[in-house]
C-alpha cells in the first residue's frame, strides 16, 4: 500500500467514525459487528444520554483520551455499557 493509499484510507476511516458517532449521539442505532472471537453480534445502542437510564449515565464527562479505534456505547437490550471496534462494523443502521 502506498503512502497516498494509506492516507486516503485514514481519511475515509475518520469520516466514517465521525458519522457513526454523530448518529449514536442523536438516537438509537442498530450495529452488527464482528467480535474479537470471530462471532457476529447485533446491538441496539446509543450515546444519547436522554435515552439512557439515569443510574447508568456517567457521572463525569470521562476526560479519558479518546480511542480512535473503538467506541463505548450504551447497549439498550443488555442495559449496560459495551464497546465495538469501528473496523469490525458490518451493518450500521440509524433507527432514529
Per residue in 57-95, pLDDT tens? 988 765 455 678 899 999 999 999 999 999 999 999 998
Q: Where are the domains of the chain?
A: 3-94
Residue showing cell 464527562: 61
Q: Which CATH number fits domain 3-94: 3.30.70, 2.30.30, 1.25.40, 3.20.20?
A: 2.30.30
Q: What is the pLDDT of residues 5-49, one digit of tens each?
A: 878 778 888 999 999 999 999 999 999 999 999 999 999 999 999
Q: Which has more confidence, 52 or 6? A: 52
- Grouping H, G, I as helix, E, B as strand and the rest as coil, residue 13 is helix
Q: What cell was used for 4?
A: 497516498
Model confidence, pTM: 0.85
Q: What is the predicted pLDDT for the residue at 35?
A: 96
Check residue 63 and give its pLDDT. 47
- pLDDT, residue 23, reads 97
pLDDT at position 67 is: 76
CA dist list (Å): 57 to 2, 16, 26, 50: 43, 26, 16, 9
CA dihedral 84, 87, 91, 95 (to 10 degrees): 60
Beta bridge partners of 74: 46, 81
How far is Cα 10 from Cα 2, in angstroms, rounded to an integer? 12
Predicted pLDDT at 59: 82
Amino acid at each position: 500500500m502506498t503512502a497516498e493509499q494509506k492516507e486516503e484510507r485514514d481519511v475515509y476511516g475518520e469520516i466514517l467514525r465521525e458519522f457513526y458517532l454523530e448518529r449514536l449521539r442523536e438516537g438509537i442505532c442498530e450495529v452488527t459487528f464482528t467480535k474479537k472471537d470471530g462471532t457476529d453480534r447485533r446491538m441496539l445502542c446509543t450515546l444519547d444520554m436522554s435515552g439512557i437510564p439515569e443510574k447508568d449515565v456517567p457521572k463525569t464527562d470521562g476526560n479519558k483520551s479518546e480511542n480512535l479505534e473503538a467506541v463505548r456505547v450504551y447497549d439498550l437490550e443488555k442495559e449496560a455499557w459495551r464497546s465495538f471496534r469501528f473496523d469490525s462494523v458490518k451493518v450500521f443502521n440509524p433507527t432514529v
